[in-house]
Amino acid sequence: MLDMMDEWGPEKVVCVSDRRTGMRGVLVIDNTARGMGKGGTRMTPTVTTTEVARLARNMTWKWAAVDLFYGGAKAGVRADPTAASKEEVLRAFARALRNEVPEEYVFGLDVGLSEADAAVLLDEVGSRAGAVGTPFDLGGLPYDQLGVTGYGVAESVDAAAALAGLETTGLTVSIQGFGAVGAATARRLAELGATVVAVSTARGGLHRPDGLDVARLLHLREVHGDALVDHYGGDAKPLAAGEELTVRADVLVPAALQDVIDDRLAAELPAKILVEGANLPSSASAQQILHERGVVVVPDFIANAGGVVAAAVAMDARSSAIRPDPSAVFTSISAKLRACAQETILASRTDGVTTHRAARAAAQNRVAAAMRLRGMLRD
């Protein structure tokens, strides 16, 4: 971890454990020059400190890229999110971070956590200030239920298509991952007139060149979860894991795992547009290959920033008796992400660099300016 530290951070790494529950977790506060550390909380059986640190840095750039005044942070618990002991482990994690939450960090939603889990964390902290992404009945803004991140991904697709000279109506799209982000992306893209030709879950994928029935997919997800691919039927072709990345489509949306697009895939990708719904799905070298091939890429910390826009609203509303208005949140997401996506693509073209480098440069300039003003960085 010491070798990962640079001029940006991390400022603080807190590793915690609990012998009784077997809880093992970590909080990484990366950079607070523009505000307190804020980022989601994930639970997987394989989460590592390095993984959480990478995600915390990504949050630093994400907040700055969309010009919202919070800093990068992320938390992770190494546990099975489907286990019966989940609540017990989450409560142990919250207790272990009582010195940091909610003054330095606020729990949120990421892989493995739901609105119900956010409610548990809020209860254990003993204050509405301790968690966001909580249910409506607790005055919260339930990101996954509303689909705010996927909505922003779809808006980014629409913005990128416009700059590529393509109409979204009739645009073909393949989506890796049909969880909260992928499903909400598909729903909004269907509303915009795009055709979803392939989707995948942990159980496999589906492909139909003439388009899948998004409404049916959404219903089956509610009933069967990842097993929706086993129940869709019709003339959709089953896909093995990873095949959804290479089906012929105008747009690819990786919305599941990190590190899925390597150099080999970048060289062969049939899509004209890549919009990163997942965090850290592509390597720097793959991004360069895509840039040289002329593939329009919307980086993850722009494309999936709908969640941070919603989180910013939820952060402000934690102590309010008035529930945030979801329609206003969607309006803000659309305006911010469309503008950021187009600015990033245009900057990439002007400077001759990848969109990741263009977006990161803009974010770094904002963070560096704040650090100088606060005496945290010297020229």
Q: What pLDDT, on a 0 to 100 scale, did the predictor assign at position 64?
A: 97
The chain-wide mean pLDDT, for the chain, equals: 96
Q: What are phi and psi of 204, to 5 degrees?
A: 130, -165
Residues 176/254, Cβ–Cβ less than 8 Å: yes
Return d(Cα 304, Cα 364) in angstroms, integer: 18
The stretch 230-252 carries a mean pLDDT of 95
pLDDT score at 71? 97
Distances, alpha carbon 324 to alpha carbons 37, 70, 310, 316, in Å:
22, 19, 9, 9
Percent of the chain with pLDDT over 90: 95
Q: Give the tens place of pLDDT for each residue, 135-163.
A: 999 999 998 899 999 999 999 999 999 99
Q: Model confidence at 258, in pLDDT bands (50, 70, 90)?
A: confident
Q: What is the pLDDT of residues 57-78, one digit of tens each?
A: 999 999 999 999 999 999 999 9
Please provide the size of the chain in residues: 379
Sorting pLDDT into bands at 50, 70 and 90, what band is 353?
A: very high
What are the backbone dihedrals phi and psi of residue 252, each rounded to the nearest 5 degrees, phi first?
-115, 130
Q: Does the CA dihedral 100-324-307-336 come out positive or negative?
A: negative
Out of 62, 74, 272, 336, the active site residue is 74
pLDDT per residue as tens digits for the range 130-142: 999 999 999 999 9
> Closest Cα partner for 126 from 159, 78, 164, 91?
91
The answer to whether the beta carbons of residues 133 and 109 sit under 8 Å apart is yes
pLDDT at 346: 97
Asked whether 191 and 226 are in contact (CB, 8 A), the reply is no
Single pTM value for the model: 0.92
Mean pLDDT of 274-282: 95
Catalytic: 272?
no
Distance of CA 133 to the CA centre of its chain: 14
The pair of structure tokens assigned to 39 is: 């980022």
Which residues lie closer than 8 Å to 197 by C-beta, 6 or more apart? Answer: 172, 173, 174, 207, 208, 209, 210, 211, 212, 247, 249
Percentage of residues of the chain with pLDDT beyond 70: 100
Mean pLDDT of 218-236: 96
Mean pLDDT score, 159-178: 96
Q: Is the pLDDT reported for residue 1 higher than 90?
A: no
Residue 3 reports pLDDT greater than 90? no
pLDDT tops 80 at residue 378: no
The confidence score (pLDDT) of residue 2 equals 83
Residue ranges with strand state E in 245-314: 251-254, 273-275, 296-298
pLDDT category at 123 given cuts 50, 70, 90 is very high
How do 204-207 and 237-239 pair as beta strands? antiparallel
> What confidence score (pLDDT) does residue 379 get?
66
CB atoms within 10 A of CB 55: 26
Q: Which residues of 100-109 are buried (b: 16+ CB within 10 A; e: fewer)?
A: bbbebbbbbb
Reported as type and span, the H/E element at residue 174 is strand 172-176
How far apart are alpha carbons 158 and 338 in whole angstroms? 8
Q: H or E segment at 375? A: none
Backbone torsions φ then ψ of 119, nearest 5 degrees: -65, -40
Nearest to 195 by CA among 215, 178, 212: 212
Task: Give the model confidence (pLDDT) of 83-93 as tens digits.
Answer: 999 999 999 99
